[in-house]
Chain A
Amino acid sequence: MQLQAEAKHVDHSEFVSFTVAGQAFCLKITQIREIRRWQPVTVLPHAPADVLGVMNLRGAVIPIYDLSARFGLEQTDASERNVVIVVSVHDKPVGLLAESVSEIISIDPDDIQETPQVDSRNTMDFIQGIISQNDEMVRIINLDAVISSPEQVAQ
């Protein structure tokens, strides 16, 4: 129920869908600052597997996460074909590596379904809800849960 209520806050609005490790995910368009082609990043020593490193975004140093690894899926072998989705979390820019960006979709909040109960605690936290799009399941990412606080990187 709570998820339903949360979903209601997500007004009829536009989402950007993309694939991570073959699965379809999406983020609200207003959460996204820009989408960039993947370029090699600077590695952070002692960083966990899901932290790829840091990137120069017009003079700002921003951390780049491998979404796939973050979701507990296999690590992405990043290449030119991949994209970095720059989002704003806790008022800070953060880059998320995804396989590729699919399209912009418009979602009616009523179409958002609760995430069915699954075993993985992470999955439950990271996914805010799901929608059906062209017979495919698209997962809505709960950004605040995925990137909880900057301090968690490399600890």
Chain B
Amino acid sequence: MTGSIMDTFFEECEELLEAMDAGLAAIEEGDQDAETVNAVFRAVHSIKGGAGAFGLDELVAFAHNFETVFDDVRSNKLELDEKLIQLLFRASDHLSDLVTCARDGGQVDSAHHDVLIKALAEYIDEDEEELVFEPMGVGAAFEPAALPLLDAVEEEVTYDIRFHPLKEMYATGNEPYFLFQALSDLGELSVSLDENELPGFDAMEDGENYLSWELSLTTTKPRSSIEAVFEFVEGLCELSITTDGDAEAEVDALAALNAAFGVGSAEEENVVDVPLEQPAPEPVEAPALAEVETVEVPEVKSDPASENTPVAKKDAAKAKSAGPKPTLRVELDRVDKLINAVGELIINHSMLAQQIANLDASDTRDVETELEGFKTLARDIQEGVMAIRAQPVKPLFQRMARIVREASAATGKSAKLVTVGEATEVDKTVIERLADPLTHILRNAVDHGIETPEDRAATGKEKAGEIRLTAAHRSGSVCIEVKDDGAGLNRKKIRQIAIDKGLIPENAELNDNEIDNLLFLPGFSTASEISNLSGRGVGMDVVKNAVTKLGGRVNIASTPGRGSTFSIILPLTLAVMDGMVVSVAGHTMVVPITAIVETMRGNDDMINNLGADGTLLSIRGSFVPICDVASSLGLRRDTTNEPAGVYLLVETENGDRCALAVDDIHDQRQVVIKSLDGVCGNVPGVSAATILGDGKIAMILDPESIVTASSSAAVFDTDRRMSNAIAS
């Protein structure tokens, strides 16, 4: 039970941390609206509250410091200057780390922890700290320790209790009867109403309370247990608790003061009447309880939401409509089941269509009309279901802000992340798997792209570099772009590194685009030479792999002195795509439409041999290498045979074109993507599978890797190894 509550807690923490980051980002942008600040405060507060319940002390302690500082911000005691905002950001990052550690086990960097605690403490003035750690005022006399302590006193003692509620007590909803009931749990209780206190009828004032009770409680529990019962009415009644046979039940002012200072003194004195109507002496400007009558709240500095308190109904209604749209939390599993089912529905439709077409019926028009309706509905459902999985990239982008902050701090550079298109929605899985590559690109941008403040100043740039992170939908795909205004790629250096690492021959002739793409070669990592920040032992090839796995690609554009742009182009959804159904050596396969530039039927005149095994297709005067899909996939060993007659002109990432030779083209349709992950390992040339109308599985081809694997594509390059590496 607690386990699942704890899971919920961590889930909630994620959301709260996101909200906190969003709030801080808004504050940084200059939105220091009370509600924005309050929202961040609430997030920290909720994390602390939950963490407290699970005894996550380190988290509680840090959140507490954080919260205390934020409380002062909230009450305008602290000004939100740049320095403080940066500290709050770092504190928020650290809080996130603490949550992660609490969830997954592990330890945060304690030096960093201490630094932040100290930095936060500088903003907390000492008086306040005292107030925080030594709660005073209401309840101070018997705070949590006042809970019934079992077996603390074994001897049975009879207490005489005189209880006279003030009229204010009734305004708080406290009922003497319930208090007595609680008392009776402690031992033998007798209650009698003290009629002597009743004034004559004439003397009665409206609303005043004249009732008093005499109680006698015989219990083994300590006095503090009795006091605990009256905790809520402290200051709202006259109360005296005296032990058996004690005659001096007078209110002693000094004893009262002592009592108010702490439980200890009260217990040492055998006879202390706790004058609950007396205010606890309060060194700081805490509320005086005796003034409760006036129902005027004393000025309190850490006033959380006084301006929010008198919310008029009208305002509240407005706030409600302006609030977030109602949402429903659904387990991802269920959505995925639904997506699968819809995929089946679409397949089912094509099967039906195929069977109807095969029917030997004279008139199938009506059925076909209905079938068309079925198709439309199925598509609608599919789009709807896909939309459930789609999420805005905002949280991902927010996390990236942290990466840039950390990278800047680690490199001593100054960089600012500007995000554009945060509302762009992308499939949830895509978002999750984008985190790593994006992190890497951004670290790289700070580490290698952005210059030091001095260098920037020297070239007339603003001291702080700008990294622009953009998300946008572009004709059926999603484009995520990281653009920095740094120095641009150092091609000379990249080339040299590639040579040093034996990735290219020394005399290789490469154009700029090819040099840029060297970054993606496995084994190419400039990190070790330059700094340990962006590297962490992996190169940009990891970025490329991750993106390729998602069915996307990465492009680089760079201008010396002006900066570089990394673009990640991804399919909108991982679940369906438009494909061209082709046959290859008797197998039905699907080629993604997005990869195809043009399709054409070839004839012998168009084919030109080049060298021993290279063939080129001439298209309107230009020559394009032919890649026989069947042999590339190992489905036809004999490559001397003339490749089949249909060509799909595809364009690879670095702009090279290649003609994929297939046997025939059947049709073009939307196919449901079935991942081969977990079914089999990486199959060269194949990105996934799909189920066709006849229930058979068809491979979805990955033109990029087919071109790579094909020998004919490589004939142009002086060095085949390089070309393979670049294209892979």
Report A's interface with B, CB cutoff 8 A: 41-47, 51, 54-56, 59-63, 92, 150-155
B312 proximal to A (CB < 8 A): no
**What residues on A are CB-neighbors of B680 within 8 Å?**
44, 47, 51, 54, 63, 150-151, 153-154
Residues from chain B with Cβ under 8 Å of A62 in the complex: 679
- Using known A-B contacts A56-B696, A61-B697, determine if residue A153 contacts B691 with beta carbons closer than 8 Å: no
Q: How many A-B residue pairs have CB under 8 A?
A: 72
Interface residue B435 (Cβ < 8 Å from any Cβ of A) = no
Kindly specify which of B115-123, B516-524, B645-653, B682-690 makes contact with the partner chain: B682-690
Known contacts being A43-B635, A45-B634, A61-B689, is A56 close to B697, with CB within 8 Å?
A: yes
State in angstroms the CA–CA spacing of A63 and B691 once bound together. 14
Secondary structure at the A interface, as helix, strand, loop or mixed, is mixed
B695 at the binding interface (Cβ < 8 Å): yes
Asked if B699 is at the interface of the complex by the 8 Å CB criterion, the answer is yes
Most chain A CB atoms below 10 A, which of B678, B679, B698 = B679
Contact of A45 among B674, B679, B681, B685 (CB under 8 A): B685
Given known pairs A42-B697, A59-B344, the reply for A152 and B681 (CB within 8 Å) is yes
Quick check: A54 and B678 within 8 Å, CB to CB? no
Min CB gap B525→A, angstroms? 25
Asked whether, in the complex, the Cβ of A61 is within 8 Å of the Cβ of B683, the reply is: no
Interface size on B, residues (CB 8 A): 26
Complex: how many Å from CA A55 to CA B340? 16
Given A42-B696, A43-B635, decide whether A63 and B686 contact each other with a Cβ distance below 8 A: no
Contact check, B684 vs A45: say whether CB atoms are below 8 A apart. Answer: yes
Residues of B within 8 A of A42 (CB): 587, 689, 696-699
Which B residues are CB-close (under 8 A) to A155? 681-682
Supposing A59-B347, A150-B679, A155-B681 touch, asked if A46 and B634 sit within 8 A by C-beta, the answer is yes
Query: What would 15 more interface pairs be, CB under 8 Å, given A45-B635, A150-B681?
Result: A42-B696, A43-B635, A44-B699, A45-B686, A47-B680, A54-B680, A56-B691, A56-B695, A56-B697, A59-B344, A60-B674, A61-B697, A150-B678, A154-B681, A154-B683
Contact indicator B344/A54 (Cβ below 8 Å): no
- A41 contact set on B, CB distance < 8 A: 697
In Å, the complex CA distance between A153 and B686 comes to 14
CA distance A49 to B677 in the complex (A): 20
Within B631-657, which residues are at the interface with A (CB < 8 Å)? 633-635
B residues 681-714 near A (Cβ < 8 Å) are 681-686, 689, 691, 695-699
**B465 interfacial contact with A, CB 8 Å:** no
Q: Which of B343, B344, B683, B697 contacts A46 (CB 8 A)?
A: B683
Q: A56-B695, A59-B340 are in contact. Are A151 and B681 (CB under 8 A)?
A: yes
Do A92 and B587 touch (CB < 8 A)?
no
Given contacts A61-B676, A61-B689, are A45 and B699 in contact (CB under 8 A)? yes
A51–B689 alpha-carbon span in the complex (Å): 16
Do A54 and B340 have beta carbons less than 8 Å apart? no
Q: For B679, give its contact among A43, A46, A59, A63 (CB under 8 Å).
A: A63
- Complex formed: what's the CA distance from A56 to B672 in Å? 13
Kindly name the residue among B633, B635, B678, B697 whose own CB sees the greatest number of chain A CB atoms within 10 A: B697
Interface centre among A47, A51, A54 (most CB of B within 10 A): A54
- Per-residue CB proximity of B337-367 to A under 8 Å, as 1/0? 0001001100100000000000000000000
Chain A residues with CB below 8 A from B689, complex form: 42, 54, 61
Q: List 30 A-B contacts (CB under 8 A).
A: A42-B697, A42-B698, A42-B699, A44-B680, A45-B633, A45-B634, A45-B683, A45-B684, A45-B699, A46-B634, A54-B676, A54-B697, A55-B697, A59-B343, A59-B344, A59-B691, A61-B674, A61-B676, A61-B697, A62-B679, A63-B680, A92-B678, A150-B680, A152-B681, A153-B680, A153-B681, A154-B680, A154-B682, A154-B683, A155-B682
Cα-based distance from A135 to B634 in the complex (angstroms) = 45
Q: How far is the CB of A18 from chain B (nearest CB, A)?
A: 23
- Contacting pair B685 A54 (CB below 8 A): no
Closest CB of chain A to B632's CB: distance in Å?
Answer: 8
Docked Cα-Cα span, A41 to B698, in Å, equals 10
Which residue from chain A places its CB closest to the CB of B683 in the assembled complex? A154
B679–A54 touching, CB < 8 Å: yes
Residue numbers in A under 8 Å from B695 (CB-CB): 56
Residue of B with least CB distance to A60: B674
Assembled-state Cα–Cα distance A151/B678 (Å): 7
- B residues within 8 A CB of A43? 587, 635
Question: Which chain A residues border B691 with CB–CB below 8 Å?
Answer: 56, 59, 61
User: CA A150 – CA B682 in complex, angstroms?
Assistant: 10
Give the distance to chain A from B483, nearest Cβ to Cβ, in Å: 37
Would you call B686 and A44 a contact (CB within 8 A)?
yes
Q: CB-nearest residue of chain B relative to A93?
A: B679
Query: Is B679 within 8 A of A47, CB to CB?
Result: no
Pick from A51, A55, A92, A150 the residue with the most CB of B within 10 Å: A150
Residues in A neighbouring B681, C-beta threshold 8 A:
150-155
Residues of chain A with a CB closer than 8 A to B696's CB = 42, 56
A55 to B676, CA, bound (A): 12
Q: Are B679 and A153 in contact (CB under 8 A)?
A: yes
Complex: A41 Cα to B680 Cα, angstroms: 14
**B676-A46 in contact (CB<8A):** no
Q: Which of A45, A47, A62, A155 has the most CB of B within 10 A?
A: A45
In the complex, residue of chain B having the shortest beta-carbon distance to the beta carbon of A94: B679
Q: State the Cβ distance, A150 to closest chain B Cβ, in Å.
A: 5
Contact with A along B658-679 (1 / 0, CB 8 A): 0000000000000000101011
